[in-house]
Amino acid sequence: MWVFRNSVLNSVPNSLNGRSKNVSVRAMSDPSARPSLGITALGMYVPDRVVPNAEFEARIDTNADWIESRTGIRERRFATPEQFTSDLGVLAVRNMLERDPQALQGVDAIICATVSPDALMPSTAALIGMQVGLVGAAAFDLSTACSGFVYGLSVAQGLIMSGAARRVLVVGAEALSKIVDQDDRNTAILFGDGAGAAVVGPVPAGYGFQEFVMGADGNGGSSLYLRCVAPTLPGGFDMGDSVGMNGREVFKFAVRVLGESGAQVLAKSGLTSADVHWVIPHQANVRIIEAAMDRFGLPMERAVVNLDRYGNTSSATVPMVLDEAVQDGRVQDGQQLLLIAFGGGLSWVAGTMKWWDGAPSLKPAQTAGVSA
């Protein structure tokens, strides 16, 4: 498992708009010397079309109650035939801008986490940037499936700390209904479409990201996959033409790595489970979340869950569930968050952060427009 240790800089910016420079070796092992970087804006979007479990009963050997009891999912959203991943990402960013018109000020890099890109090239990140006023910003896609958004946060942090960027737009967006076989009982019932977006930049001292832990194991590639150019994985495993999954193996993997990576990142942060106000988990299956919470010794009430309404939106789940918890007032200023996710690769990621609500889109919906 690879541990991302927050590199730090000799000179911390004097203002929240400063560009980070000059990596300090001393500060790399001194958390108190690290510049504070975190989320400075949020937005999300889900398509209008609601697809309840009952819709699958006519074509798949299943029923609505069975789906909900096994997964926790009641419904999900599907994009229209004319909507693709970049469209969903753009709408998530526009939602952010509606709540905070200055949210993209100073953004000079874009990361889009997705496994359902509009195209292999141009990048979906570049297509999003073109439509939200960020032409000229560095832009690239990141492919670690459901781990992608939290991976993206750590990459964004690294870009800023290295001086390569001032602020980074990180988007998790998926149009999974386009790539899932809707007649496959193993996958069709699980996935939905949606997008979440966040800006990463300087935040006040004491807030923001603390540590990230990331890893991947290609030996598990045949448990969750989607082909591109090659018809088979190394070793000859045939991937077929749509998303494939070995549900039993993914479930066992997820329960193990969420617990292990979460425990590791808490230890690296000098925290215990008792310090965590909210766990922000990837939304794959409620039973996986329950098992992870049990490993942390925390009640389910401390996990933020919305997969009952949106299903598994892969890289979009974490930003979407975080944004909903911010909007409804659950996540509040100064609270300790634990972000955990797993995905194709097989991959995993966990991160700790102290929440800052000092920007308009980071406040509860009913108070976002009220000045202090």
Measure the CA–CA gap between 148 and 230, rounded to whole angstroms: 22
Out of 146, 186, 219, 285, pick the active-site residue: 146
Angle of the 124-131 helix axis to the 85-99 helix axis, nearest 10: 40
228 catalytically annotated? no
146 catalytically annotated? yes
Q: What SS3 state is found at 227?
A: coil
Quote the distance between the C-alpha of residue 139 and its chain's center. 17
Out of 6, 282, 285, 306, pick the active-site residue: 282
Please state whether beta strands 107-113 and 347-354 pair in parallel, antiparallel, or not at all (unpaired).
unpaired
- Of the candidates 237, 119, 218, 235, the residue with the CA atom closest to the CA atom of residue 178: 119
- Of the candidates 270, 250, 268, the residue with the CA atom closest to the CA atom of residue 342: 250
Using left for φ > 0, alpha for ψ between -120 and 50, and beta otherwise, residue 132 falls in alpha
Name every residue whose Cβ is closer than 8 Å to that of residue 81 and which is 6 or more positions away in sequence.
none
As a whole number of Å, the CA-based R_g of the chain is 19
* CA angle in degrees (0–180, nearest 5) for 316-322-325: 135
Measure the CA–CA gap between 168 and 165, rounded to whole angstroms: 7
277 catalytically annotated? no
Judged on CB neighbours under 10 Å (0-12, 13-18, 19+), 22 is exposed
Out of 6, 53, 95, 312, pick the active-site residue: 312
* Catalytically annotated residues: 146, 282, 312
